[in-house]
Amino acid sequence: MGMKTTGAAFHSSAPDLASCPGWSLPEFAFIGRSNVGKSSMINMLAREEGLAKVSSVPGKTRLINFFVIGGTWSLVDLPGYGYAKAGRKERGSFGAFVADYLRHRPNLLGTFVLVDSRLSPQKLDLEFLRWMVGCGLPFILVFTKADKLAGEAAQKNVGAFLGSMREISEDRPEFLLSSSKLGRGRPEILGLIASALAEKPETPG
């Protein structure tokens, strides 16, 4: 038994928090460095190629994109941070509107922070996670592109990253490995989403 993701559809794009949909659908957001595989992950979860726009060129997703699943909950594709070709101001940081969304969206039920499993711990990811922890925002770490490295090499990077996380957070973060190419991590992520939906307190409207 797994959660169904039939009826996936693009809803809208927002350039700021105020423009986000005025609904109370539970949302699950995907954030991480540019090119880490956020949009690919949304397509993998929805089993619909081309739902979210994917590109080998970093900086493809520039707005907050909302996808509705079965009319009942939403996957949210966020712009990546660390997009090198962005304006100098943006480089290495992420849009204030993304920070606003992560901190102030009442119906955001889960945030998945994607990290490239091929790399040793990167300062940009750790800085972002330090910000998340500082804001008291919960998250689940997803190490992406696990198909690209042999199991051991990826495990080594994951271990090193979790080691670096100890300097940021006292709690051991929840994490999993994924491959959008192979569908790896899909049952785990959908399982986490299903649990969050089951626990959700009833909200009016």
Say how many residues make up the chain.
205
When asked if residue 186 is in the footprint of ligand GTP (CB under 6 A), the reply is no
Q: Which of residues 55-94 bind ligand GTP (CB under 6 A)?
A: 55-56, 58-61, 79-80
**Cα–Cα distance measured from residue 196 to residue 205, given in angstroms and rounded to the nearest whole number:** 19
Smallest gap from Cβ 82 to Mg ion, in A, equals 13
Q: In a 3-state reduction of DSSP, which class is residue 23?
A: coil
**Cα–Cα distance measured from residue 81 to residue 164, given in angstroms and rounded to the nearest whole number:** 19
- Spatial contact of 83 and 76, defined as CB atoms under 8 Å apart: no
**Cα–Cα distance measured from residue 118 to residue 139, given in angstroms and rounded to the nearest whole number:** 21
When asked if residue 35 is in the footprint of Mg ion (CB under 5 A), the reply is no
Q: How many residues of this chain bind ligand GTP (CB under 6 A)?
A: 23
Smallest gap from Cβ 204 to ligand GTP, in A, equals 34
Smallest gap from Cβ 155 to ligand GTP, in A, equals 16
Binding site for ligand GTP (CB under 6 A): 34-40, 54-56, 58-61, 79-80, 144-145, 147-148, 179-181
